[in-house]
């Protein structure tokens, strides 16, 4: 029998005003809920511009405790609208200890918990290791009113291990709040391949684990006019066969509401029984950094 759930994706263009960004997120959540969304996901670090383009101690002032002011406001909104909210925030855990964290709030306004980003990049204009301590809560699944939500964050999306371990904990949907785009000077040469790789790897997680994938990006240019990052938008939902069900615009904010059928998970997994045929007795070396020839 069908088990329909409507997921909402709020793709945003950020400004340098956290309050304005938070207000835009609230408007997007309200729009998604009015169109029938039951679980709504925001982009990575939606309260601010993507500050990790530089190493600047001033940006630590953007961080907040979780639970804290943002989760309190979003809890009231979730309760008012009857929706689950997945919100990516800059967490201040203690003085000198910060995380890139996603908070999950159930449809009755209860704070269910948080996931701390496990894989932290350090690439040109993505200097996240300066700001974020790697997550120490493990891979998490949250039993919300409408579905079991597995939450990962951006750079996590490139790792099959993260998707697998989250799926093995019972996730129906893998949510990826994201901030990814092109370096404008590289776009002509590499842009199409970079975007295709990003999309394909996430769709493959849905196929390998027989679950839905929801990836929510930001859009617009941030940073220097002759450089910076051009976030490529194109937030999407894919089903357990890897088929894209809906995709947002490239260059503007967008709100998608997509109906998914959780019954497809059992159907897909029984026809393509990857979980059944896993050789768990043979995977011990997965915990090694690299397998050198003796």
Query: What CATH number is attached to the domain comprising 54?
Result: 3.60.110.10
In a domain, 11, yes or no: yes
User: pLDDT tens digits for 49-72?
Assistant: 999 999 999 999 999 999 999 999
- Identified catalytic residue from 91, 114, 140, 154: 154
38-57 CB burial, b ≥16 within 10 A, e <16: bbbbbbbbbbbbbbbbeeee
DSSP state of 145: S
- Catalytic residue, chosen from 41, 44, 91, 92, is 44
Q: pLDDT digit string (tens) for 79-100?
A: 999 999 999 999 999 999 999 9
Q: Which pairing describes strands 148-151 and 173-177: parallel, antiparallel, or unpaired? A: parallel
Q: How far apart are CA 99 and CA 84, in angstroms?
A: 22
Q: Please write the tens of the pLDDT for every residue from 201-242.
A: 999 999 999 999 999 999 999 998 879 999 999 999 999 999
Classify residue 19: in a domain, yes or no. yes
The pLDDT score that the predictor gives to residue 95 is 97
> Has residue 290 been placed in a domain?
no
Annotated active-site residue in 41, 91, 92, 117: 117
| 117 classed as catalytic | yes
Pick the closest to residue 70 from 45, 52, 95, 34 (CA basis).
45
- Tell me if 287 is assigned to some domain: no
Name the residue range of residue 15's domain.
4-277
The answer to whether residue 115 sits within a structural domain is yes
Residue 284 lies in a domain: no
CA distances from 143 to 152, 160, 164, 195 (A): 15, 22, 18, 31
Mean pLDDT, range 265-281, rounded to an integer: 97
Residue 149 lies in a domain: yes
Domain membership flag for residue 283: no
Domain count, the chain: 1
Asked whether the whole model's pTM tops 0.85, one would answer: yes
The structure tokens listed for 64 are 């907040």
Report which DSSP code applies to 77.
Answer: H
């Amino acid at each position: 029998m069908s088990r329909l759930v409507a997921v909402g994706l709020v793709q945003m263009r950020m400004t340098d005003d956290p309050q304005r960004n938070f207000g835009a997120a609230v408007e997007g959540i309200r729009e998604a809920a009015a169109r029938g969304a039951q679980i709504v996901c925001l982009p990575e670090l939606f309260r601010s511009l993507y500050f990790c383009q530089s190493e600047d101690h001033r940006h630590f002032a953007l961080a907040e405790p979780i639970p804290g002011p943002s989760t309190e406001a979003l809890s009231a909104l979730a309760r008012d609208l009857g929706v689950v909210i997945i919100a990516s925030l800059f967490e201040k855990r203690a003085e000198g200890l910060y995380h890139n964290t996603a908070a999950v709030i159930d449809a009755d306004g209860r704070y269910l918990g948080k996931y701390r980003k496990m894989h932290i990049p350090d690439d040109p204009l993505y200097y996240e290791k300066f700001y974020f301590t790697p997550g120490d809560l493990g891979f998490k699944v949250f039993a919300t009113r409408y579905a079991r939500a597995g939450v990962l964050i951006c750079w996590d999306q490139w790792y099959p291990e993260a998707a697998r371990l989250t799926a093995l904990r019972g996730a129906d949907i893998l949510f990826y709040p994201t901030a990814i785009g092109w370096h404008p000077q590289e776009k002509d040469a590499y842009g199409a391949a970079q975007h295709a790789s990003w999309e394909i790897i996430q769709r493959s997680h849905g196929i390998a684990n027989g679950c839905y994938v929801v990836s929510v990006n930001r859009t617009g240019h941030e940073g220097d006019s002759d450089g910076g990052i051009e976030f490529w938008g194109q937030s999407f939902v894919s089903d357990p066969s890897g088929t894209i069900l809906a995709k947002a615009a490239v260059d503007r904010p967008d709100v998608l509401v997509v109906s998914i059928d959780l019954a497809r998970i059992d159907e897909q997994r029984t026809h393509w029984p990857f979980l059944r045929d896993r050789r768990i007795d043979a995977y011990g070396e997965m915990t090694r950094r690299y397998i050198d020839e003796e």
